[in-house]
C-alpha cells in the first residue's frame, strides 16, 4: 500500500516546506517524491499542515483496576482524536506496574484494544530494585518522590540512592517534597478548600524535590527526566544545568491555569503538582519557548465528575487532557507564543529522543508513518459532551481554540478522519534502543 500526501505544509526536522510525503508499508518512503509518483491513495492536504504524531510521555490510563475512570480503549480513542499517536503510561494502576510480569500484562491488554502505539513505565518501590534493573520492553523507571494518586512512593534517601546506582534504564520522577507537603497539611489542618491544595503542595515542595532528584541523577551520572515542572523556580534551576543527563517537561494545565482558576473550576483544576501563579505560567511558557524545558506532555489523569465533586481533600487530583493538548499548543502558535516548529519539537521529536524510541517523532525517510494533519485556521470550542475520554469532561470546557488536528494516521493507517474514529485499528508496542543515549546524545 502506497499513500501520497500532497500539497501539505510539512513540518520537517529542519523547518516547514510545502512538499509531498510518500508512505509505503506503514513507513515514510520518501519526502518530495516526483510529481509522477504513483500511489494507491493520494491525500490532498492543501491548506493543511502535516506533522509527526504527538508522543505523550506521561499519561494515566487506569487499566487495569480503575477502569470506571478510563481504559486503554477509550483513552486511545481520545489520543487518536487529539493527534496523539503514541503514549507512555504510568505505573499507578491497580495492581501497580512494579514487576516485569505486570508490565507484560499491560502490554498484552494494550495490544488487544489500543488504537494508537503504546508503552508502559515500570514503577519504583523501596524494595523492587532487582526488577527495575532487569526490566526491558519499557521506556524507563518512574519514581514518585512525593506521593500522589495511588500508593507508589519512594522517599527514603537510601532507597533512592540504590535505584539511581543499581539501574541503567532512564528514570523520570514526580517531584514534590513529602516532608514539606506533610508540614503544610498539618499547618492547614488538612486543607478546607480546593485552593488550599496549592498551599499544601506549594512552590517549596516542588523546587526542594526537583533539586534533590537532579542531585541524585548528577552524582550517579544517570539519565533523568523531570516530569510536570510547575514553578518558575524549577525553570530557573533547570536553566543552570549542564546539557547531558537532565531533561524536563511541562503540561498544558501548568501553562494555562493558575490559582485564580480555583474560584471558577474548583477541583477540576486540582492536580499534583498543584497549579501555581500567573507569574509561574509566564515563566513556564518562556522556558518552553527557549528550550530550557524540552517536552510537553499531559499527565492525563481522569477521575469521574462524581469523584471530583467531593469536598477537599477527598476530591482526587488529576484531569484529562490527551484529546486537547495539541490543539491547546496550536492555539498558542496562533497567539504568537510559540512557533509550530517548537511545538513539534516538544510534543513529537523530543519525547522520542528522551526515551530512545526507534523510528518515531519525525517526518523523515524510514520513520514510521505516525502522522497528523492539522488545520491552523480551524476554530472549535471544547465541549464536555464531545470528549472521548471515559470521564467525559475537560477543564477547558467552553474554551475556543484556534488550530486543531483534523486527521491522524498510525503506522500508515487512518485512525481518525472526517470526524470518525476507526475502532478496528490497533497500534503497536513502541520499541526502544537505550544505547542511543537519550535526548542530548541525538540530533
Q: Which is nearer to ligand DOR, 149 or 324 (CB)?
A: 149
Strand partners, 30: 22
- Chain centroid to CA 191: how far? 29
Using CB under 6 A, which residues numbered 306 to 325 contact ligand DOR? 317-318
Binding mask 43-62 for ligand DOR (x = CB under 6 A): -----------------x--
Is 370 a catalytic site residue?
no
Q: Which is nearer to ligand DOR, 148 or 210 (CB)?
A: 148
Using CB under 6 A, which residues numbered 70 to 109 contact ligand DOR? 92
24 vs 413: CA distance, rounded Å: 11
Which of 271, 288, 391, 410 is close enough to bind ligand DOR by CB under 6 A? 271
Strand partners, 381: 400
Cell of 77: 480513542
* End-to-end C-alpha distance for the chain, whole angstroms: 30
Number of residues forming the site for ligand DOR (CB under 6 A): 11
Q: How far is the CB of 377 from ligand DOR (least distance, A)?
A: 34
Q: Which is nearer to ligand DOR, 47 or 311 (CB)?
A: 311
Q: Which is nearer to ligand DOR, 233 or 267 (CB)?
A: 267
192 vs 202: CA distance, rounded Å: 15
Q: How far is the CB of 151 from ligand DOR (least distance, A)?
A: 11
Q: How far is the CB of 254 from ligand DOR (least distance, A)?
A: 11
CB atoms within 10 A of CB 202: 20
152 touches ligand DOR by CB under 6 A:
no
Using CB under 6 A, which residues numbered 158 to 177 contact ligand DOR? 174
Strand partners, 137: none
Sign of the CA dihedral 79, 83, 86, 88?
negative
Catalytic residue among 261, 299, 331, 349: 299
- Alpha helices (H) along 240-370: 252-256, 262-265, 278-289, 305-308, 325-334, 340-344, 350-354
Q: How far is the CB of 87 from ligand DOR (least distance, A)?
A: 14
CA separation, residue 218 to residues 143, 165, 247, 354 (Å): 16, 11, 12, 16
Residues that bind ligand DOR (CB under 6 A): 60, 92, 148-149, 174, 271-272, 299, 301, 317-318
**What is the set of active-site residues?**
299
Amino acid at each position: 500500500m502506497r499513500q501520497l500526501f500532497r500539497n501539505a505544509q510539512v513540518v520537517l526536522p529542519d523547518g516547514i516546506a510545502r512538499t509531498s510525503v510518500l508512505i509505503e508499508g506503514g513507513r515514510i518512503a520518501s519526502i518530495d517524491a516526483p510529481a509522477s509518483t504513483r500511489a494507491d491513495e493520494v491525500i490532498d492536504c492543501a491548506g493543511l499542515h502535516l506533522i509527526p504524531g504527538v508522543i505523550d510521555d506521561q499519561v494515566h490510563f487506569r487499566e487495569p483496576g480503575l477502569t470506571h475512570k478510563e481504559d486503554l480503549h477509550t483513552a486511545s480513542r481520545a489520543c487518536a482524536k487529539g493527534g496523539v499517536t503514541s503514549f507512555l503510561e504510568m505505573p499507578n494502576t491497580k495492581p501497580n506496574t512494579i514487576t516485569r510480569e505486570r508490565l507484560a500484562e499491560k502490554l498484552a491488554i494494550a495490544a488487544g484494544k489500543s488504537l494508537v502505539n503504546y508503552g508502559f513505565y515500570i514503577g519504583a518501590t523501596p524494595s523492587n530494585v532487582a526488577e527495575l534493573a532487569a526490566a526491558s520492553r519499557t521506556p524507563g523507571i518512574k519514581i514518585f518522590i512525593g506521593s500522589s494518586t495511588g500508593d507508589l512512593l519512594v522517599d527514603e534517601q537510601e532507597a533512592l540512592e540504590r535505584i539511581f546506582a543499581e539501574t541503567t534504564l532512564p528514570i523520570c520522577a514526580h517531584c514534590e517534597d513529602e516532608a514539606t507537603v506533610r508540614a503544610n497539611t498539618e499547618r492547614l489542618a488538612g486543607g478546607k478548600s480546593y485552593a488550599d491544595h496549592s498551599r499544601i503542595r506549594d512552590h517549596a515542595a516542588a523546587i526542594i524535590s526537583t533539586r534533590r532528584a537532579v542531585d541524585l541523577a548528577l552524582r550517579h551520572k544517570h539519565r533523568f527526566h523531570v516530569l510536570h515542572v510547575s514553578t518558575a523556580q524549577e525553570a530557573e534551576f533547570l536553566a543552570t544545568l549542564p546539557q547531558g543527563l537532565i531533561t524536563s517537561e511541562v503540561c498544558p494545565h501548568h501553562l494555562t491555569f493558575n490559582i485564580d482558576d480555583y474560584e471558577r473550576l474548583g477541583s477540576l483544576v486540582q492536580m499534583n503538582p498543584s497549579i501555581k501563579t500567573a507569574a509561574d505560567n509566564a515563566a513556564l511558557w518562556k522556558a518552553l519557548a527557549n528550550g530550557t524545558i524540552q517536552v510537553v506532555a499531559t499527565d492525563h489523569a481522569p477521575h469521574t465528575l462524581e469523584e471530583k465533586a467531593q469536598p477537599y481533600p477527598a476530591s482526587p487530583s488529576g484531569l484529562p487532557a490527551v484529546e486537547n493538548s495539541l490543539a491547546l499548543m496550536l492555539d498558542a502558535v496562533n497567539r504568537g507564543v510559540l512557533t509550530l516548529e517548537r511545538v513539534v519539537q516538544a510534543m513529537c521529536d523530543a519525547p522520542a529522543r528522551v526515551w530512545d524510541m526507534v523510528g518515531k517523532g519525525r517526518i523523515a525517510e524510514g520513520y514510521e508513518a505516525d502522522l497528523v494533519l492539522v488545520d491552523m485556521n480551524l476554530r472549535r470550542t471544547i465541549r464536555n459532551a464531545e470528549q472521548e475520554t471515559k470521564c467525559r469532561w475537560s477543564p477547558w470546557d467552553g474554551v475556543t481554540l484556534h488550530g486543531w488536528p483534523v486527521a491522524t494516521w498510525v503506522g500508515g493507517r487512518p485512525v481518525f478522519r472526517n470526524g470518525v474514529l476507526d475502532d478496528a485499528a490497533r497500534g503497536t508496542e513502541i520499541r526502544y534502543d537505550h544505547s542511543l543515549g537519550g535526548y542530548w546524545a541525538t540530533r
